[in-house]
Amino acid sequence: MHIETRGRGPALALIHGWAMHGGLFAPLVERLEHRYTLHLVDLPGHGHARDSDTALEPATLAAALVARVPDAVWLGWSLGGQFALRAALDHPDAVRGLVMLASSPRFVGDAADGWPHGVRSSLFREFGDALRRDFRGTLEGFLALEALGSAHAQDELRRLRAQAFERGEPSEHALLQGLVLLDRLDLRGELPGLRVPSLWVSGRRDKLVPSGAMPAAAALAPDARSVVIADAGHAPFLGAADAVADAIVEFVDALPASQPARAAGAAR
């Protein structure tokens, strides 16, 4: 993994979504770096870590992340939320709070399973097949899907296209692993045991993670709340950066101060 650190103040770590990298969080960095120390993560196979062949295994990577950035609030966007949530579930003494941004405990929807808040079960497998046939074309199509629905869709798509590959293309191997995670992971049953405060932020126009997923997830977790941004899509920090930043600030600043024992442990 690659972690870039910016700003000053309490620690806030951000994990990007599928096929992306930490540089996409630039609008949030601009608004938050004067308040927080921001740790921008590039997952293995992505961005500055694109040559890493480390497996995208949530429990292993979550442990590595909290070892490198203890006593932080963790924010995960889309696929990145699976790693942030895993860190909060497994290491509550090292995670002050959790922000899930357009990210769900279950990305696939199944009304029969009591979770209608997702995409059809075949979508991620179809993306995998398409990647093998047309790697760059499939990624371009995914960028369009991320922007779709937003009130600022054209501006968001231009920004995504301009920034998505500025650190090089992600590895096909990592992307295929990520699709498997998006298809299979289901953390709904663990949410009642979440021991840290959480904020679930969604865009009402999101075409990848229906906006109902985040309020439904927040209802399963203790000390959790959700915020739905009316005109935003799957990348709300692009088209509604002020609203997302304000929600983050309100959440983080309301968290209890770091415990002395935790801070001492981080210094060792």
258: pLDDT confidence band, cut at 50, 70 and 90?
low
Mean pLDDT to the nearest integer, 44-53: 95
Domains of the chain: 2-267 (3.40.50.1820)
pTM score of the predicted model: 0.92
CA atoms of 27 and 143, how far apart (whole Å): 17
Structural element, H or E, at residue 252: helix 241-253
Q: Following DSSP, what letter does each residue of 46-68 receive, concatenated? A: SGGGTT------HHHHHHHHHHH
Please return the burial class of 149, using the count of CB atoms within 10 Å of its CB with bins 0-12, 13-18 and 19+: buried
- Which residue, among 235, 181, 214, 243, has the nearest Cα to 23 in the 3D structure? 235
CA atoms of 174 and 148, how far apart (whole Å): 24
User: What pLDDT, in 10s, does the model give residues 206-229?
Assistant: 988 988 999 999 999 999 999 999
The fraction of the chain above a pLDDT of 90, given in percent, is 71
For the beta sheet containing 95-101, the strands, ordered from the edge strand earlier in sequence to the opposite edge, are 2-7, 37-42, 11-15, 72-77, 95-101, 198-203, 224-229
The lowest-confidence range among 72-86, 112-126, 141-155 is: 141-155
- Would you say residue 24 has pLDDT above 70? yes
Q: What residue has token string 């600022």?
A: 152
Instruction: Check: CB of residue 172 under 8 Å from CB of residue 46.
Output: no
Find the angle CA(90)-CA(10)-CA(228) to the nearest 5 degrees: 70
| pLDDT (0 to 100) of residue 145 | 76
| pLDDT (0 to 100) of residue 105 | 96
Strand partners, 202: 228
Q: What is the CA radius of gyration of the chain?
A: 17
Instruction: Check: CB of residue 19 under 8 Å from CB of residue 28.
Output: no
Q: What residue has token string 């990577």?
A: 61
User: What pLDDT, in 10s, does the model give residues 78-107?
Assistant: 999 999 999 999 999 999 999 999 999 999
Annotated catalytic residues are 78, 206, 234
